[in-house]
Amino acid sequence: MEIASLWFDVDASSVEPPTVTREQVLPLGSLTWENFERLCFRLAHRGGNVEDARIYGERGQAQEGIDLYVRRATGDYATWQCKRYQEIKATDIKSAVTKFLEGDWATRTKLFRLAVASSLNATELVEEIERQRTRCGGVNITFEPLDRNRLSLMLKDHPDLVDDFFGRSWVEAFNGPEAAANLSGRKLSLEQKLNARNFVQILYETHFRTIDGGIPAAAPIFRGAVLPMQVFDRYVEPAIELVESIIEQGQSPIVRPENGAQDAVQGGPATGFFRREITTKLSLSAGLATSDRFLLLGGAGFGKSAALRVVLHSLLNDGGRFPALAKSWGQRLPLLLPFGFLAHHFAENGTPTVEGALKAWLMVLGARNEVLTLLEEMIGDERLLLLVDGLDEWQNREAAATALTALTTYVQTRRLPLFATSRPLGFDRISDFGPDWKRANLLPLTTSQQREFASYWFRHFHEAEAALDTTALGQAVTRDATEFANNLSEDPALSDLGGIPLLLSVMIYLRLMGRVLPRSRLAALEELIKALLEDQPRRRAQAAMQRADQSVVRSRRIRHGIEYLAYCIHQEPNSIILPNERDGTVERLLPYQF
């Protein structure tokens, strides 16, 4: 054989690759007990026929021998007891079953699962399991022990849970390289994800503390003497009216021409398709949990921005405030972006992108350079959740329409959930979302919700005074809130305005200054107008990091328009003006004021 030929490949028999066995058992014992219980909870949700699953009780409470329960579509329950034992004895199994059977949940449970982080293969444990299985069977309960081997087998089908609790390297070793490759959209490791959430929480809480300390605390007369109150400490969850559109076929209404011609209606009414709206009233959080595309509509001062801020705060903390949202979005990484900032980004940049706007927004909030790299990875992660505030707030209509198109395309192609807010008329001017979006209107606060909101502020001011003990403090808060609500109810017009959180805050501010409604009605109305025309636009511009140079001029023009309209109304009989006459009055004023 010539030496030169040794440098060329030749046909040869194939060599079998080495045998590589995947890991079959996960290190469940390395989890903290909180994470072990959390893993069991997430796994319980993955079971078939599950309607709901919840942790039962808090630390220190009697838990009736269970840690979580699952309500199934059949109407019965499965209960879990989770024990992160490194070693387990037969007496531990017997004790767990005894404690469960003596509790109230035994009468409602069809399946009782004992989940442990250790192995249950020892002969004495197997014998005890069979004794307890027979014992539970005697009262028509199935006993199912889940040790590290059984739990690991179940987790073979859930590489995302393995990734969440053990990391990507364990996914590759335990679930296989293919499963790990399918998670490539998850840019952040478990540690990076937790760090990113922490950084984002600090950025937003600092921002919210700066821009939204509450009208009463921010008033010049109290500034420096009363600390701001964070929006999530004073928030009252409102109700919403969910609006769903359906297509129905039926007879179209007959429209007779004004000239009385008969041929237009000959042949009977026509049959066609028309849209019908169905409205459902429910809580804000329950409504948001129903869709990954949600548009929340509300007038000025109804609390749209506050809703986004509280949702973001809840998701970045333990999620206990809104359990339904935690279930739907708890594993996601929320980012809140003002639409005004996004529209400005598209107006000022040659090649704007949504990701570029998100990065620029985080930099404006004060993200440090060493954090930006991590947050850039977060923006590219498939677990992102976008909260976009104020789709109606823009200065350049063309840029706003382009930004909105880019935003909807971005979330659709990346399959990201989006929760957006807008005033109804402003949004209609630039776009209309498709049928895959759910739409809801914020409803005014009820009388009881107004009283609850007022209680937060009275408590805050009494605590700032620090002159009362705990009992006296509670009594003073109840007294002041009740008196305020009663005074407000004496004037129907002011009572209706109290359903709007912004205006309710102004009236609480007046009450804290010693002005009693409705005797101070004129002062109240002046403050309410000022809040709507001057303060609110300035605060929203500040929240979006936008300039508001024209706000003073704009508010003066709007005030003149309102004054002129009010004057025209009072000139009419009974001070009543029809909508078309109102619109004509405003149109006549436009050339002079705007």
Per-residue pLDDT band at 274 (split at 50, 70, 90)? confident
Residue 425 banded pLDDT, cuts 50, 70, 90:
confident
pLDDT of residue 262: 47
Domain match, 457 and 366 both = no
Task: Return the higher-pLDDT residue of 268 and 557.
Answer: 557
In this predicted structure, the answer to whether residue 323 has a pLDDT above a threshold of 70 is: yes
Q: Is 192 part of a structural domain of the chain?
A: no
Q: Is the domain of 41 the same as that of 87?
A: yes
Q: β-strands 68-72, 50-55: how paired?
A: antiparallel
Residue 594: its pLDDT value, please? 44
Q: How far is residue 405's CA from residue 206's CA, in Å, rounded to a whole number?
A: 30
Query: 216 in a domain, yes or no?
Result: yes
Same domain for 105 and 212? no
Same domain, 122 and 237: no
Phi, psi angle pair for 333, to nearest 5°: -110, 100
Give the neighbor-by-neighbor strand order of the sheet with 68-72: 50-55, 68-72, 77-83, 109-116, 142-146
d(CA 323, CA 321): 6
Q: Are residues 278 and 156 in the same domain?
A: no
- Determine which helix (DSSP H) or strand (DSSP E) holds 329, and give its type and residue range: helix 323-329
Q: Does 54 share its domain with 128? A: yes
340: nearest Cα among 163, 194, 540, 185: 540
Residue with tokens 């509509």: 297
| DSSP secondary structure, 455-516, as one string | HHHHHHHHHHHT-S-HHHHHHHHHHHHHHHHHHHHTSHHHHHHTTSHHHHHHHHHHHHTTPP
User: Are residues 242 and 138 located together in one domain of the fold?
Assistant: no
* pTM attached to this predicted model: 0.75
3-state secondary structure of 323: helix
Cα angle, residue 172 at apex, residues 166 and 177 outer, rounded to 5°: 155
Question: Does a structural domain hold residue 14?
Answer: no
Whether 470 and 501 share a structural domain = yes
pLDDT tens figures, 559-568: 666 666 665 6
Residue 254 lies in a domain: no
433 and 504, same domain (yes or no): no
Per-residue pLDDT tens digits for 76-134 = 899 999 999 888 999 999 999 999 999 999 999 999 999 999 999 999 999 999 999 99
pLDDT tens digits, residue range 20-29?
678 889 999 9
* DSSP per-residue string spanning 48-76: TTEEEEEE---TTS--TT-SEEEEETTS-
pLDDT tens digits, 200-230: 999 999 999 888 888 777 667 777 778 889 9
Q: Are residues 307 and 371 in the same domain?
A: yes
**Spatial contact of 60 and 49, defined as CB atoms under 8 Å apart:** no
Q: Give the phi and the psi of residue 274 in degrees, each rounded to 5.
A: -145, 160
Tokens (6 digits) for 107: 């009468």
| Distance separating the N- and C-terminal Cα atoms of the chain | 96
Write the pLDDT tens digit of every residue in 278-306: 889 999 999 999 899 999 999 888 999 99
Examine the domain organization and report whether 395 and 512 are in the same domain. no
Domain span at residue 458? Answer: 447-518
Total count of domains within the chain: 3
Q: Are strands 68-72 and 333-338 parallel, antiparallel or unpaired?
A: unpaired
- CATH assignment at residue 176: 3.40.1350
**In a domain? residue 191:** no
Short-list 145, 194, 152, CA closest to 174: 152
CB burial of 145-165 (b: ≥16 within 10 Å; e: otherwise) equals bbbbbbbbeebeebbbbbbbb
- pLDDT recorded at residue 532: 63
Q: 211-235: string of b/e by CB count within 10 Å (b at 16+)?
A: bbbbbbbbbeebeeebebbbbbebb
Do 405 and 282 belong together in one domain? yes
- DSSP tag of 87: S
Give the chain's mean pLDDT: 83
Band (pLDDT 50/70/90 cuts) for residue 7 is low
pLDDT bracket for residue 527 (50, 70, 90) = low
Higher pLDDT, 191 or 40: 40
Q: What is the CATH number of the domain that holds 234?
A: 3.40.50.300
Q: 442, 471, 487 — which closes off a domain?
A: 442
Give 114-180 as a 3 state SS string: EEECCCCCCHHHHHHHHHHHHHHHCCCCEEEEECHHHHHHHHCCCHHHHHHHHCHHHHHHHHCHHHH
Q: How many CB atoms lie within 10 A of CB 77?
A: 17
Among 499, 518, 537, where does a domain finish? Answer: 518
The answer to whether residue 594 sits within a structural domain is no
115: phi then psi, degrees, rounded to nearest 5: -100, 125
pLDDT at 233 over 60: yes
